[in-house]
């Protein structure tokens, strides 16, 4: 979590994947306000590119708003 917080304060990328990962780290730590903020930035950075990716990001945003972290399925 320390690295995620440092990354958020030093964040100068507009990579949707980086912001998405940061959001997941905050959510895993129970910091859902920060998770929501970073997930929204991820969607903003993604823009209109890759609609299937945007849908998955929106699903994660819903989880964070509901107070749940994102965890990949263990069945993969």
Distance CA 54, CA 52 (A): 5
Q: Identify the pLDDT of residue 76.
A: 42
Number of H helices, E strands in the chain: 4, 0
Residue 12 has pLDDT above 50, yes or no: yes
Residue ranges per structural domain of the chain: 2-6+16-65
Instruction: Grade residue 51 by pLDDT with cuts at 50, 70 and 90.
Output: confident
Distance CA 73, CA 2 (A): 25
């Amino acid at each position: 979590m320390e690295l995620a917080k440092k990354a958020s304060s030093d964040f100068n990328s507009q990579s949707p994947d980086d912001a998405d990962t940061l959001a997941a780290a905050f959510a895993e730590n129970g910091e859902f306000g920060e998770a929501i903020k970073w997930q929204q930035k991820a969607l903003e950075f993604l823009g209109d590119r890759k609609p299937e990716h945007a849908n998955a990001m929106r699903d994660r945003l819903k989880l964070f708003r509901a107070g749940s972290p994102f965890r990949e399925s263990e069945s993969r």
